[in-house]
Amino acid sequence: MFKKILIANRGEIACRVIATARKMGIATVAVYSEADKEARHVQLADEAVLIGPAPSRESYLVADKIIAACKATGAEAVHPGYGFLSENEEFAARCEQEGIAFIGPKAHSIAAMGDKIASKKLANEAQVNTIPGYNDAIDTAEKAVEIAKGIGYPVMIKASAGGGGKGLRVAFNDKEAFEGFTSCRNEARNSFGDDRVFIEKYVLEPRHIEIQILGDSHGNVLYLNERECSIQRRHQKVIEEAPSPFISEATRKAMGEQAVALAKAVKYQSAGTVEFVVGKDQDFYFLEMNTRLQVEHPVTECITGLDLVEQMIRVAAGEKLTFAQADVKRNGWAIECRINAEDPFRNFLPSTGRLVRFQTPATSMTQGDTGNLLGVRVDTGVQEGGEIPMFYDSMIAKLIVHGKDRHEAIAKMREALNGFVIRGISSNIPFQAALLAHPQFVSGQFNTGFIAEHYSKGFRAEDVPHDDADFLLALAAFVRRKSRERAAGMSGQLPGYDVKVATDAVVVELGAEGQHRYVPVHVDESTSRPGVAVVKVNGNTYALESHSRLNDICIRGTVNGQPFIAQVERGTFKNPLALQVQHNGTRIEALVMSPRLAELHRLMPYKAPPDLSRFVLSPMPGLLAEVSVQVGQKVQAGERVAVIEAMKMENALFAAQDGVVKKVLASKGESLAVDQVIVEFE
């Protein structure tokens, strides 16, 4: 067994590998860029080596620097994690040449599966179901239309070297096939330096289901059940679960056996994933093989009780698998939510900056420990006070729950999301909460088009209806009541000016453009004691009990005897005196005041925000990559004004109306804050 390994990655996956290595008694070496010098993975590792500037092309993607770090620290093996160099066959081969063990498959396996056209041909030879299509590179748009007609619409036009949803179009007619081929080819050339494009049948109501496989250097290959990954936004997975609520035992077995056949065909050693697209009649077709550890591997660890990182390390050290296919378990149900630094209410734009507050829900499962299951686990590479840099992907953490069945797993996940506190940046937690509450998700009746179908116009606050909206008002009144009780108990108050605690109040739910809601509430005086109150709202009674401190964001307690976790914060963007209450993805801002004060508040005029239509503002923090206009230039509506880069994404900003540029207030290469002015029009 290795004595020391280097992790050629960053963030949560680097921390994940360190956890297992520590359990196995293996020393670890972290590598880091200048942007990551204070990162959590650097602090957790036994040693750390600086490998270059913040951009990944100058640090994490430079194989020479990784090899040099291995040699300098005496690391015998390198774990690539996922992303960066994890599926780079040249890097795997180079490690082998330098006498460094690559904790992953052999270079020939990576090469065979890395090319989508070549991998599909290999799958056909291994008698794996493949989608009907044309598997050779297509030269012209006219030829693409001819092939698409022959296969039958709808078809998928895909870049051979594609990945992450880039270089992929769906065409339903000749016009879309012609245009899709051209744009797909251009995107592939720009993104991957490889413009080969192929076409295959598009499966209606498709589900994305993948099989986890594990092979050793002794010819043994097993499948470790499946993962359901159909909840996707723009081809990026959002929620994953294991097992799938859709496929039958027979389909599971058939998919598993075909995945094993493909892995054996390329002499696969290590953990890997064979992805399938599954139709509504459970007809399944090979999509691609990922020759690395997947982001969503924890859900498989939960239901099988296997530490996949440990298995990868043992296989790379030449050990034989110690269990057979019949020994692979499938216990309970696991769900993973990807918690990303993005603002769901602003079209999921990246949100970078400092984590002012970062408090995870209570956990009972940890990385590398598969002995304690049926609980909550958080995989993260960040900590409170840390920075979310603009140079890398947007994932802050992975929240994983394991329940006895799917119903229990969903309930655990909803509760865990309620207790996940992130401040300083925006996160997609409200969106995740909405998905988990959606009837179609709960019933398991969904496919890869679920998010596009139900959130086609983006995500809005009203897309998260609370099953008991009056509870949020009652909680605001409860917290305000406890605050007043505490103030009333303070000594030394002047006679006639002491704080009085009233039983009647009005909760003012703050709305857009001054459209507030005024709701009378009553607190039953006879039941009020420290940490306890009975609040009546709209004829509903809420017996609340909580002994959380008044300055805690996370409030834990019971309502009518049932446990709850919610977030209550004082001071909001709209009003420093308001309370922000958040539960099950729904967030309200409210003032709690006396009936007389509420009467006067109704008379307050609405102050409209300033007119910003003359300005182009940065919708997110990021790097200003391009300013496309100059002072005095006439600009038409829809014309590009600037381009901002953040978290591997390029976002173009366009003029909302015709105008003449008066000032350019930011320059290329500048780091921008949210709502910073870039251009002003006359």
Q: Do 480 and 519 fall into the same domain?
A: yes
Q: Give per-residue pLDDT as tens, 445-476.
A: 999 999 999 998 889 877 777 889 999 999 99
Q: Do 167 and 211 fall into the same domain?
A: no
Could you list the active site residues?
A: 288
For residue 111, being part of any structural domain is answered with no
CATH at residue 663: 2.40.50.100
- Whether the pLDDT of residue 423 is over 90: the answer is yes
Q: Do 441 and 336 fall into the same domain?
A: yes
Task: Write down the pLDDT at residue 508.
Answer: 96
For tokens 């998905």, the residue is: 435
Task: Write down the pLDDT at residue 419.
Answer: 96
Question: Would you say the pTM of this structure is higher than 0.85?
Answer: yes
Q: Do 93 and 174 fall into the same domain?
A: no
For residue 511, being part of any structural domain is answered with yes
For residue 267, being part of any structural domain is answered with yes
Burial 283-294 (b: 16+ CB within 10 A, else e): ebbbbbbbbbbb
Spatial separation of the C-alpha atoms in residues 79 and 104, rounded to whole Å: 7
Task: Write down the pLDDT at residue 528.
Answer: 67
Number of Cβ atoms within 10 Å of the Cβ of 22: 16
For residue 405, being part of any structural domain is answered with yes
Number of Cβ atoms within 10 Å of the Cβ of 546: 22
Q: Give per-residue pLDDT as tens, 162-195.
A: 665 667 889 999 999 999 999 888 888 877 778 8
Q: Which of 278, 280, 272 is nearest to 300 (CA)?
A: 272
Q: Give per-residue pLDDT as tens, 226-241.
A: 999 999 998 899 999 9
User: Peptide bond before 243: cis, by omega within 30 degrees of 0?
Assistant: yes
Q: Do 486 and 587 fall into the same domain?
A: yes
What's the chain's average pLDDT? 92
Q: Give per-residue pLDDT as tens, 80-138.
A: 999 999 999 999 999 999 999 999 999 999 999 988 778 988 999 999 999 888 878 89
For residue 299, being part of any structural domain is answered with yes
**Percentage of residues of the chain with pLDDT beyond 90:** 73
Paired strand residues for 524: none
Q: What is the mean pLDDT of residues 380-385?
A: 94
Q: Do 295 and 359 fall into the same domain?
A: yes
CATH at residue 212: 3.30.470.20
Q: Do 233 and 258 fall into the same domain?
A: yes
Q: Give per-residue pLDDT as tens, 610-631.
A: 888 899 999 888 889 999 999 9
Number of Cβ atoms within 10 Å of the Cβ of 220: 17
For residue 220, being part of any structural domain is answered with yes
For residue 458, being part of any structural domain is answered with no
Q: Do 269 and 414 fall into the same domain?
A: yes
Task: Write down the pLDDT at residue 162.
Answer: 67
CA distance from start to end of the chain = 69
φ, ψ for residue 195 (rounded to 5)? -100, 15
Q: Give per-residue pLDDT as tens, 265-285.
A: 999 999 999 999 999 889 999
User: Is the pLDDT higher at 322 or at 152?
Assistant: 322
Quick one: 570 exposed, middle or buried, by C-beta within 10 A (0-12, 13-18, 19+)?
middle
- Whether the pLDDT of residue 4 is over 80: the answer is yes
Q: Do 585 and 624 fall into the same domain?
A: no
- Cβ distance 328 to 224 under 8 Å? yes
- For residue 69, give the H/E element and its range: helix 63-73
Task: Write down the pLDDT at residue 498.
Answer: 86
Q: Do 324 and 244 fall into the same domain?
A: yes
For residue 654, being part of any structural domain is answered with yes
**Percentage of residues of the chain with pLDDT beyond 70:** 98
Which of 61-70, 372-381, 634-643 is predicted with the least confidence, judged by mean pLDDT?
Answer: 634-643
Q: What is the mean pLDDT of residues 310-320?
A: 98
- Whether the pLDDT of residue 152 is over 70: the answer is yes
CATH at residue 18: 3.40.50.20
* Domain termination residue (choose one: 534, 568, 602): 602
R_g over Cα of the chain: 28
Q: Do 366 and 247 fall into the same domain?
A: yes
* Domain termination residue (choose one: 581, 602, 623): 602
CATH at residue 171: 3.30.1490.20
Task: Write down the pLDDT at residue 165.
Answer: 61
Q: Give per-residue pLDDT as tens, 514-564.
A: 889 999 999 987 776 788 999 999 999 999 999 998 889 999 999 999 999
CATH at residue 564: 3.30.700.30
Q: Do 212 and 153 fall into the same domain?
A: no
- If DSSP codes are grouped into helix, strand and coil, which group holds residue 446? coil
User: Is the pLDDT higher at 419 or at 495?
Assistant: 419
Task: Write down the pLDDT at residue 167.
Answer: 75
Quick one: 484 exposed, middle or buried, by C-beta within 10 A (0-12, 13-18, 19+)?
middle
Q: How many structural domains is the chain composed of?
A: 5
Q: Give per-residue pLDDT as tens, 33-57.
A: 999 999 999 999 999 999 999 999 9
Sign of torsion, CA 436 437 438 440?
positive
- Residue-number span of the structural domain to which 294 is assigned: 207-451
From residue 589, alpha-carbon distances to 474, 569, 571, 613 in Å are 13, 9, 9, 27
297-304 vs 308-316: helix axis angle to the nearest 10?
A: 100
Q: Give per-residue pLDDT as tens, 341-372.
A: 999 998 898 888 899 999 999 999 999 999 99
Task: Write down the pLDDT at residue 352.
Answer: 86
For tokens 């409860």, the residue is: 478
Burial 592-613 (b: 16+ CB within 10 A, else e): bbeeeebeeeeeeeeeeeeeee
Residue 140: both structure tokens together: 């012209």
What's the DSSP call for residue 130? B
Q: Which of 172, 187, 257 is nearest to 221 (CA)?
A: 257
